[in-house]
Structure 1
Amino acid sequence: MDCCGRALSGTAPAATAEALMRSRFTAFAEGDADYLLRSWHPDTRPRRVELDPDQRWVRLEVLGRTGGGLLHAEGTVEFRAHYLEGAGQGVLHENSRFTRSDGNWVYWGTVR
């Protein structure tokens, strides 16, 4: 949580799209559905997020990114998020789109 504590607590916004993605992974790992909703773009945000209590998010690999820097308005981050579930393990591979809303980075959705 050292990487994203300030974003999760609301004391400082994520500076880049990748930083927001990392903070969202931490929110999944910590079960912080409120942060996930707050960091989701209002046009694509669901009414609620239900986290699976049997999934334990354990590792994140950033595979690539486009844009998403301090001077950008949009960006993408491709990643693999590893989790444990019951006696098994799994991987979520996603290329996520991020954009700015009111000056802050927010998750838009999956790049298709």
Structure 2
Amino acid sequence: MTPPACPCGRADARGRPRALAQCCGPLLAGQPAPDAELLMRSRYTAYVLGDVAYLRASWDPATCPADVMPDAATKWLGLEVRDHRLIDADHAEVEFVARYRIQGRGGRLHERSRFRRDAQGRWLYVDGSFPQGGP
């Protein structure tokens, strides 16, 4: 039996989808992300899986909203990472497009996300902007 593929869409060296257990799974279980891109990918996976605890734990406490709750009606269809830019040792940006469907209607979330590394060395999501004028 083939293990489930990771929702983030990351592939191995042969171009095959990585298994959740070897990709975002360890991060969702508490292993720190080595960089902002992998944190962003793991947050996408958390949205797909409805893992609210991980979303809160990986969000900067200064910007985390009180009502973090993935919409159960949203079906996430795929992720494309367009850019990962290290600004300095403790700040980075990741631009991505996530495709979704709500009540049969397709959509895209195009965001440039900002991340920071905290005093313990863990990457945290700070906030995001929408390069094309909206979500």
Q: Distance in 2 between matches of 1:105 and 1:91?
A: 25
Specify every segment of 5 or more residues in structure 1 that has no aligned partner in the other structure, as ranges. none
Letter in 1 for 2:24: C
Please, which of 40, 50, 57 is the counterpart of residue 59 of structure 2? 40
> In the alignment, which residue of structure 2 is the partner of 1:88?
105
Instruction: Specify the SS of the correspondent of 1:98.
Output: strand
Specify every segment of 5 or more residues in structure 2 that has no aligned partner in the other structure, as ranges. 1-5, 7-19, 131-135
Give 1:111 deviation, angstroms: 4.1
1:1-112 to structure 2, matched below 5 A, reads 1=6, 2=20, 3-10=23-30, 12-67=31-86, 72-101=89-118, 102-111=120-129
Give 1:48 deviation, angstroms: 2.7
| Paired residues, number | 109
Give 1:106 deviation, angstroms: 0.4
Provide runs of 4+ in structure 1 moved above 4 Å: none
Identity of aligned residues (%): 43
Q: Distance in 1 between matches of 2:70 and 2:122?
A: 24
TM norm structure 2: 0.76
Larger radius of gyration: 2
| Bigger relative CO (Cα 8 Å, ≥ 6 apart) | 1
Instruction: Specify the SS of the correspondent of 2:37.
Output: helix
